[in-house]
Structure 1
């Protein structure tokens, strides 16, 4: 068989032990904070039925879903006409029934509906698992990446939104970030803007375009809006709204004037004001001046957000958003469970990792590495070294016996490569005397110890 050159699929990565230690530092920090706010962990399958995912992320999001081909001769049941016409989009439902999950929110909504008689409302969960998107790989953007989601369903209280701001602030600060913004908008405000412009039916088109402001600029947004059915007159109305500036209070005051004739728009403003009021009552009003920012251009082009929308960005390195989310009042309704409101946010663990790495914010390694390596001089000595190995481990000491009696240099190199702090040299003399030779790999010092003293020293 011809040898295959090993390679990784674009947008995916391997993780070394050192990298896993750093990643677990992020996950463990987040888990601790999530639990402090009353959230419990769940997991869902890596792939879902395609019908579960389709239509939940907008047309652009649907294009990024990784579809899984049906097993066997998947083309045999496909309509010949579609095959001849090469209409791949229309073919999908015939050749693919499942897909890798695009995010954790929609599978969570499906989970809630299927387990509605087992869970207690409001149900607060967090979930840390990989997701997949057929996106173009670039710095900070992968095709396989981990999301850390925290959601609550069954509560319409805006206290939840306020607490998500606190969760973001506490988690990112705990990880060492010092300069970041939590951007906040409300889908109802965007609906109100579409009403004022006179194009309420184009709310999705408007939000998809506005959401790209950071990437393509105002000129690019205007061009896309024109292509999506807006007029030059509409753009003239939108321009001062999109370019809104000032403090959070000044922005909300200006919006009240603009949206005075839109009941839904005013409701969105009132919801943001309520969130701010909760932050004040929680003693965290200073966050409104430091890190929380009302951003009317924040649209997050997902179809299911209905209330507050969040996005988090760091200002310390060039990076896209490192978190985001929002309220989704009718998401479970798509699965047959009506009138169950929910809200949640996500941490972009992979981007956060890149930020911490670039800023050198990971703590010094404290991994539970092997504490002592027993050098293997002779297989006949295993009658002594193997019981000793078990005794060390039973005492809670991470220990290894080199698996083969090879040259000492090779075994010492192994200990060096793994940064093992001690090696234990046991020959016939040590077995007879019971005094074992322990070498400190950093200082080179060597001492003789009995088994009890050895265990005490290594603990």
Structure 2
């Protein structure tokens, strides 16, 4: 007996209703992107390894899916690295391409490659799948979609303000009220590392700090110690672990802590600009909050950092994130092009909407009408009627085979189709049809040209 097929861990099949619900989310996000002036692009599913590696930090590099070379290229494998048990170098020698880890780095590559055809500032959105060799768990998959919007070619902080509004617009339209848009600034984190004497450990410092909500204060401190950050430096950042109070109080604490750091103070000023603008403009349902531990662990952020948390009571990781990356295109040879962008975590948003029962009843894969098949002549008449129904905006289909009535009705019930149209010999002769309401069981006979009155 053949073994039952399966799919890799961290991937999923999607049923018709799941695809319909996902498309509902896609449509709302896409509509908001277009409303805010973003243009669509697409990039390949895989890139050259050199494009991706080294852009996400050591942790990110480990999560990149590499594509094995084939044919004669296998001869390039570094067997000496294998003998030395340098598995990272050995695996790199077996691969020249990799599945994209996110959409931002491929976008930076796109901008550099097509810079002569782009009008700056360039506002793009991109909705495509990405892949990460992460440990699968609830809300975390190895294949998932990202929905990104970015602006490159402008250093204006008004872009950050607009992205906060964009988040608010999308989640309000999804009915997901009460999300928290967390914001921090990489310059503040860099300034903190500077004033505690750990400037050379900035990446280790921020990666550890970003895990505070996952591993707690003691876990963060232990990780910092393991990375060579001194006990004295860790003691100086103790206030960050109990960072509370009003926004003004938090900003005052930061100004006091960062008074000796020019870069850190710039970060505080940038945060103040965004908060003051949002205070004037207002948000519909979201809340903007300062989170000084927010780092997101990515090397390329240089200014604002965003992360969106689901409403209270929902156990879910971030459902959105992003930030400013002044130096990203520079790694591909295009200097002095600032960028800022955000991403929506489609799969997690789906799970949150499902948990909170926020998908509208109208979001369904149901067909409105099924026409019963009694033979070729009746089927042809049914298809004429179906054409009319579709023109009126109804989804309709003909049962493809001339099977017994019970089988066709069972099909309608299993598909949860609300109406069935019956055209038998008598109805065909009289140019009428019987419309049956499958929920109530009532039937109504109407002329072909009056069929729309029966719904």
Q: Could you say which TM-score interval applies, normalised by the shorter chain?
A: over 0.9
Q: Deviations for 1:420-440, whole angstroms, at most 9, x for unmatched residues?
A: 222222222222222222222
2:355 paired residue number? 358
Shift of 1:108: 1.0
Aligned positions of 1:335-354 closer than 5 A: 335-354=332-351
Aligned residues: 454
Q: 2:434 aligns with which of 431, 434, 437?
A: 437
| Mapped contact 2:210–2:295 kept (Cα < 8 A) | yes
| Mapped contact 1:179–1:316 kept (Cα < 8 A) | no
Which deviates more, 205-214 or 378-387?
Answer: 378-387
| Mapped contact 2:17–2:365 kept (Cα < 8 A) | no
2:277 paired residue number? 278
Aligned positions of 1:382-421 closer than 5 A: 382-394=379-391, 396-421=393-418
Unaligned residue ranges in structure 1 (runs of 5+):
none
Question: 2 CA distance for matches of 1:389 and 1:36?
Answer: 35
Question: 2 CA distance for matches of 1:393 and 1:282?
Answer: 43
Matched, 1:307 2:303: yes
TM-score scaled to structure 1, two decimals? 0.93
Aligned positions of 1:441-456 closer than 5 A: 441-455=438-452
Aligned positions of 1:60-79 closer than 5 A: 60-72=59-71, 75-79=74-78
Matched, 1:154 2:153: yes
1:40 paired residue number? 39
Question: 2 CA distance for matches of 1:368 and 1:225?
Answer: 50
Which deviates more, 208-217 or 40-49?
Answer: 40-49
| Mapped contact 2:433–2:446 kept (Cα < 8 A) | yes
Question: 2 CA distance for matches of 1:343 and 1:142?
Answer: 25
| Mapped contact 2:371–2:397 kept (Cα < 8 A) | yes
| Mapped contact 2:21–2:364 kept (Cα < 8 A) | no
Aligned-pair Cα RMSD in Å = 2.1
Shift of 1:269: 0.7
Change (3 A) 1:223 1:126: same
The SS at the match of 1:76 is helix
Unaligned residue ranges in structure 2 (runs of 5+):
none
Which deviates more, 383-392 or 427-436?
Answer: 383-392
| Mapped contact 2:444–2:454 kept (Cα < 8 A) | no
| Mapped contact 1:180–1:316 kept (Cα < 8 A) | no
Question: 1 CA distance for matches of 2:243 and 2:392?
Answer: 64
Shift of 1:145: 1.2
Question: 2 CA distance for matches of 1:384 and 1:164?
Answer: 53
Question: 1 CA distance for matches of 2:392 and 2:175?
Answer: 35
The SS at the match of 1:117 is helix
User: Which aligned segments of 4 or more residues in structure 1 are displaced greater than 6 angstroms?
Assistant: none
Question: 2 CA distance for matches of 1:277 and 1:341?
Answer: 22
Matched, 1:291 2:284: no
TM-score scaled to structure 2, two decimals? 0.94
2:2 paired residue number? 3
